[in-house]
Structure 1
Amino acid sequence: MFKVDLNSDLGESFGSYTIGMDHAIIPFVSSVNIACGWHAGDPLVMAKTVKSAIENGTAIGAHPGYPDLMGFGRRNLAVTPAEVKAYTLYQLGALQAFVKAANGSLQHLKPHGAMYNMAATDAKLAQAIAEAVYEAAPEVILLGLANSEMITAGKAVGLRVAQEVFADRAYQANGTLVPRSQPGAVIHDPDEAIARVVTMVKKGEVTAITGEKVEMKADSICVHGDNPEAVEFVKKIKETLEKEGVTITAFKNFV
């Protein structure tokens, strides 16, 4: 039987600004990645999002990013492994406090944006993130890009790892995501994206933007729900996977 997790990035509102449609997306995913206040989110939003996840029976993950609110954490920063480790510890500890206060449990940690993409190919940054998680919360699963340095680093330090694929993003031949700045980086046709998801889950492969077949293990699928069309897309992904005989469940149940 095929099993896969559906995850979404939530808790990205802050202050007077509302970002995303958390209330609409959370019933359709099995895990959520909650922003920890640096690239997005704030303490009140963190508390509210944790509470909502627990009420919906959705697994919770910390989603730390770079201290770059203006760039939404998507700009590469010149950071050292020591800095990335400290950033990860700081934000992991913050979300852990809200989860503990709500009598919940933390399933995983998934870096955000530029931190995620840089650590996918930089072994030293990946090791820094993995060490931070292992030293602060060794029971927490590290969620990272399939086949990336984060997966290697997580296994090396003794963490459970979950490998993530993306429903609406194009891949390069080396298994990394096509940068958003390049044409074709985002797949806008819902039917094409869903067909790719089914192939990744059931066949363990995806077609790169250059035509090559890339092998990858899909433990979790990242889906976005920041507009009404995206929410419908997530619902369709879930319905299609279930029709294909795939069980949707939090990855703590099978990795």
Structure 2
Amino acid sequence: MVNTSTTPLIAHRLTRVEINVDCGEAFGLWEGGPDEELMPMIDAANIACGGHAGDPVIMRRAVALAKKYGVKVGAHPGFPDKAGFGRRRLDMSAEQAYAEMLFQVGALKAFLDEADVPLNHIKPHGMWYIMMQNNEDVNDAAMRAIAHFKVPVYGLPNTLHESGAKKYGIPFIPEAFVDVNYTTEGVLLGVPGSRKMSPEEIYVATRSLGKEGLVPSVHHVPVDVGVRGKPFTLCLHSDFKGCRENVAAARRAVDEVNKELYSESL
């Protein structure tokens, strides 16, 4: 069940399972995902900030769409690599990474301020997010910049995402994935290395995450990703073919889980 208010609220903790989707991932004449079709089905939109995707016009439009549907807005900064869609490894110094994070999130914040919409959270994109789960230097530079905005960060439990947030006093929102895979050790692979998940597989995986905290790994082995027994936010990707069906399947499962486990918060 999504927020029906026209003014999204900042959530420093979750009381139910939510769905977040990456939005605004277009550039100039290059089309991105079907944002307006997805917005009614989601709780939070991670809006690209001009690094891996997005430009000023698209960012502003995405903010307006989120406000229209009462969807919370997070910044989705990515490696400045549009050709690789932020999914290639990029080496930056700590100074560059810190400044890039401030630059991208600050740009989105300007459009949010104009629309009178609060910045709800920050969630790095693609390879930046992947590297932050186990690279201390990459994580520290990013978290120092994220702390400046005084909003929660979405991240993977029991990784440097969580401990890095704690180090800088950043509220941490646990996140899990069902349209990309984890290794059998619980390390997120991201899009490179994952197998394609069907809507039915996404529905089953989402139910399993919500009820048992388990999700099938890339090798189909159930793996605990640190969200057992507590609310979390579930990420899906708008640039995948079939994303509408994927999000609809996840929405159905999330609504069932919330009704069964967190009905008092609905």
Q: TM-score, normalised by structure 1?
A: 0.88
1:186 matched to 2:189? The reply is: no
Give the aligned partner of residue 152 of structure 1: 163
Asked whether the equivalents of residues 5 and 248 of structure 1 are also in contact (C-alpha less than 8 Å), the reply is no
1:47 matched to 2:54? The reply is: no
Give the aligned partner of residue 25 of structure 2: 12
Question: Where does 1:95-244 land on structure 2 (aligned, <5 Å)?
Answer: 95-134=108-147, 136-138=148-150, 140-178=151-189, 180-182=191-193, 185-210=194-219, 211=221, 213-217=223-227, 219-226=232-239, 229-244=242-257
Name the SS for the 1:3 alignment partner.
Answer: coil
Asked whether the equivalents of residues 187 and 193 of structure 1 are also in contact (C-alpha less than 8 Å), the reply is no
Question: Where does 1:59-74 land on structure 2 (aligned, <5 Å)?
Answer: 59-74=72-87
Give the aligned partner of residue 23 of structure 1: 36
Q: Which amino acid aligns with 1:103?
A: D
Q: Which amino acid aligns with 1:92?
A: V
Worse-matched range after superposition: 79-88 or 36-45: 79-88
Deviation at 1:228, TM superposition (A): 6.8
Q: TM-score, normalised by structure 2?
A: 0.85
Aligned length: 246
Q: Which amino acid aligns with 1:55?
A: K
> Once superposed, which parts of structure 1, at least 4 consecutive aligned residues long, lie more than 4 Å away?
246-249
* Change in CA separation of 1:30 and 1:247 when aligned onto 2, cut-off 3 Å: farther
Asked whether the equivalents of residues 6 and 248 of structure 1 are also in contact (C-alpha less than 8 Å), the reply is no
1:80 matched to 2:93? The reply is: yes
CA distance in 2, matches of 1:192, 1:81: 39
Name the SS for the 1:126 alignment partner.
Answer: helix
Q: How much is the aligned-residue C-alpha RMSD, in angstroms?
A: 2.3
Q: Which runs of 5+ in 1 are unaligned?
A: none
User: Kindly, what percent of the aligned residue pairs are identical?
Assistant: 32
* Change in CA separation of 1:168 and 1:248 when aligned onto 2, cut-off 3 Å: farther
Name the SS for the 1:197 alignment partner.
Answer: helix
Asked whether the equivalents of residues 144 and 161 of structure 1 are also in contact (C-alpha less than 8 Å), the reply is yes
